[in-house]
Amino acid sequence: MKKVITYGTFDTLHHGHINILRRAKKLGDYLIVGLSTNKFNKIKHKKSVYSYKQRKAILEGIKYVDLVIPENSWNQKINDIKTHKIDIFVMGGDWKGKFDFLKKYCKVVILPRTKGISTTSIKNKLKKKNRKILSDISL
């Protein structure tokens, strides 16, 4: 069995997330997702709309995902690869070159991001719409 792992926050899930999970799963038989915990997101200066528990439940409902594990730190990847006997480590194109050090433990695959979509762009659009709504109300 070929095992694949990827990591992320997977907040405000969108088709870009589904694309990377689908493409990662196609590379092997079993897909593990390391999901950033709320505490780790704080360290990364990220704030999620959904809690870890909610994001985990969403990921577990996706047919491409076989197992969700907590991502608590930047440094756990080597241990996760060894513990879960990972064959392929997958990340999106914005991480190119950042995980080359893992190549001595497994194959590293960087997949291109889905064009035109990101969690940041969704959050920015929502903030803009909320500001407009609030300004319309105050008129």
Our answer to whether residue 103 is catalytic in this structure is: no
Among the listed residues 2, 44, 125, 127, the single catalytic one is 44
Burial label, 38 (beta-carbon count in 10 A; 0-12, 13-18, 19+): middle
CB 77 within 8 A of CB 83: no
37, burial (CB in 10 Å: exposed 0-12, middle 13-18, buried 19+): buried
Cα gap 27→89, rounded to integer Å: 10
**Catalytic site includes residue 46:** yes
In which element (H, E) is residue 95 found?
none
| Residues annotated catalytic, as ranges | 44, 46
